[in-house]
């Protein structure tokens, strides 16, 4: 059983127990003693008042701490650095490539022939065995820059944009998880407050029944029943404590803190900031603003640029190159001389590798398949968003109806309890009927608590569905 189910069960169970014990106390009292009862004061309402702690943890502050410490958000932000690195890498292909080399080479000796030149005598070219040289080469590939690097750079830039949208989507998810955990903790605290109140009422009922049994005004079987109710109330308290511990640990884990939370929001206040547009308008807003959908659409653009880059990498390469060499000896100088000489060269090259063309074609097929998958994912996400908006929109409507229904139900239960008590005093109904009226009153007050939390969760769900921060 989840802690939400546990808290809700404890809340309803404790409230019901209190209703039984309170009804039994009033029903077994001597009829000549008239007691002033205030059904307006209930376990649920008293619990709500005691839950609010001025200066305590508000949902906005809880969400802020969850966001600041979320490892999921930190992991998603790393995608932005990855995209920046890809953009820098792609940009390097757009500028000419410069290569600088410095070297010292030992050459093998060779026997050079001797030439007998009339008038000059024999002439022998020296054979130098060591060379020191520096080379500077600059090259620019028109095909790689325009057909491959340019689309890759555009893809990398779009990747940065997609990463930002993904970060915002993760931010919304983390904020919603934090807010939901906060209200689950509020629900668990309310359950514990009602359970403790019910236990106090059951203990008071047991003490009064013991007095009545001692005076002979009540049967011993009534005392046995009241004691059983008190034990059941103790069990409800322990279950409620478990629900609080689980909910508190869940909230502490998201906030990454060991500090016990306290509820700094007054749940009796009216909720504001709920989107008021129609479902159709909200759906249009979601399609425009949902960061996860924006991220996926941007990823499609990234993939399209990557496809162009893959196709360009298989085209023949046309490049221009220029280099200069400063070496001793310079092998272009005949005869070789033991001195540094600078030479240069300029060339235009066209190069084609069939293997590269085949590999580029295969990569293009893979990217095209990924593009088709992304387009299908986009439609799936649009369908999911439509469902989420509908759930959020109608969830808010249902929550508002629940608040109104709980209010009307509470008024009806209070009036029903008042009339039933008057009928009991007149001898028209028995204590069982009063017990049922009291139980209905407590359940109605529990519904008020649940509706106060439900409207807040529904608001967060709707805001998240349309792409806003919950």
Output the pTM of the full model: 0.75
**Which residues, other chains included, contact 367 with Cβ-Cβ below 8 Å and sequence gap of 6+?**
303, 306, 307, 310
Per-residue pLDDT at 425: 62
In a domain, 120, yes or no: no
Per-residue pLDDT at 84: 84
Distance CA(27)–CA(425), nearest Å, equals 9
In a domain, 115, yes or no: no
Phi and psi for 131 in degrees, rounded to 5?
-140, 135
**Which residues, other chains included, contact 271 with Cβ-Cβ below 8 Å and sequence gap of 6+?**
455, 456, 459
User: Among 391, 388, 410, which Cα is nearest to 399's?
Assistant: 391
Tens digit of pLDDT per residue, the chain (470 long)? Answer: 444 554 444 444 444 444 444 444 444 433 333 333 444 444 445 545 667 888 889 999 999 999 999 988 888 888 888 888 888 888 888 888 899 999 999 888 877 777 777 777 677 777 778 889 999 999 998 888 888 889 988 998 899 899 999 999 999 999 999 999 999 999 888 888 777 877 886 787 677 668 767 877 666 776 787 788 788 889 989 999 999 999 999 999 999 999 888 888 888 788 889 999 999 999 999 999 999 999 999 999 999 999 999 998 888 989 899 999 999 988 888 777 888 999 999 999 998 889 989 999 999 999 999 999 999 999 999 999 999 999 999 999 999 899 888 888 888 888 887 887 677 567 676 555 655 676 677 677 778 888 889 999 999 999 999 999 98
In a domain, 136, yes or no: yes
In a domain, 413, yes or no: yes
In a domain, 117, yes or no: no
Q: Total structural domains in the chain?
A: 1
Q: Which domain holds residue 292?
A: 3-107+129-465
In a domain, 152, yes or no: yes
Per-residue pLDDT at 35: 39
**Strand ordering across the sheet containing 341-351:** 97-106, 130-141, 317-328, 341-351
Distance CA(304)–CA(326), nearest Å, equals 46
Per-residue pLDDT at 462: 95
Q: Which CATH number does the domain housing residue 247 bear?
A: 1.20.1600.10
In a domain, 280, yes or no: yes
Asked whether the beta carbons of 191 and 240 are under 8 A apart, the reply is yes
User: DSSP secondary-structure letter at 57?
Assistant: B
Per-residue pLDDT at 52: 81
In a domain, 240, yes or no: yes
Cα–Cα separations (whole angstroms), residue 72 to 28, 77, 120:
59, 9, 86
Per-residue pLDDT at 85: 86
User: DSSP secondary-structure letter at 148?
Assistant: I
């Amino acid at each position: 059983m989840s802690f939400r189910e546990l808290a809700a069960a404890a809340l309803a169970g404790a409230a019901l127990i209190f209703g039984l014990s309170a009804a039994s106390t009033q029903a077994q009292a001597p009829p000549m003693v008239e007691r002033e009862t205030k059904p307006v004061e209930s376990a649920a309402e008293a619990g709500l008042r005691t839950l609010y702690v001025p200066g305590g943890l508000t949902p906005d502050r809880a969400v802020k701490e969850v966001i600041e410490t979320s490892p999921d958000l930190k992991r998603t932000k790393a995608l932005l650095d990855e995209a920046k690195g890809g953009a820098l890498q792609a940009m390097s292909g757009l500028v000419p490539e410069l290569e600088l080399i410095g070297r010292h080479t030992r050459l093998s000796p060779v026997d050079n022939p001797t030439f007998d030149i009339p008038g000059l005598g024999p002439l022998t070219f020296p054979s130098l065995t060591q060379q020191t040289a520096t080379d500077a080469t600059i090259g620019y590939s028109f095909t790689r820059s325009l057909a491959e690097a340019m689309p890759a750079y555009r893809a990398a830039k779009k990747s940065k944009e997609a990463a930002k949208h993904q970060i915002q989507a993760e931010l919304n998810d983390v904020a919603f998880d934090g807010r939901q955990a906060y209200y689950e903790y509020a629900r668990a605290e309310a359950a514990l407050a009602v359970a403790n109140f019910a236990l106090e009422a059951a203990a008071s009922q047991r003490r009064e029944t013991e007095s009545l049994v001692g005076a002979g005004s009540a049967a011993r079987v009534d005392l046995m029943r009241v004691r059983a109710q008190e034990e059941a109330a103790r069990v409800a308290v322990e279950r409620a404590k478990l629900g609080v511990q689980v909910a508190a640990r869940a909230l502490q884990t998201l906030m990454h803190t060991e500090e016990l939370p306290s509820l700094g929001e007054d749940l009796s206040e009216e909720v504001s900031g709920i989107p008021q547009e129609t479902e159709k308008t909200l759906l249009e807003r979601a399609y425009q603003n949902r960061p996860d959908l924006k991220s996926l659409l941007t990823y499609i653009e990234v993939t399209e640029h990557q496809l162009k880059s893959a196709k360009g990498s298989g085209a023949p390469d046309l490049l221009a190159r220029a280099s200069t060499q400063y070496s001793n000896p310079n092998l272009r100088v005949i005869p070789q001389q033991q001195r540094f000489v600078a030479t240069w060269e300029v060339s235009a090259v066209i190069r084609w590798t069939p293997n590269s063309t085949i590999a580029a074609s295969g990569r293009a097929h893979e990217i095209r398949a990924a593009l088709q998958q992304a387009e299908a994912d986009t439609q799936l996400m649009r369908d999911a968003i439509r469902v989420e908006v509908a759930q959020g929109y109608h969830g808010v409507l249902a929550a508002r109806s629940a608040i109104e229904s709980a209010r009307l139900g509470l008024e009806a239960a209070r009036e029903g309890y008042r009339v039933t008590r008057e009928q009991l005093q007149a001898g028209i109904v028995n204590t069982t009927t009063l017990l049922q009226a009291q139980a209905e009153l407590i359940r109605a007050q529990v519904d008020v608590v649940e509706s106060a939390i439900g409207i807040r969760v529904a608001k967060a769900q709707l805001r998240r569905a349309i792409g806003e921060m919950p």
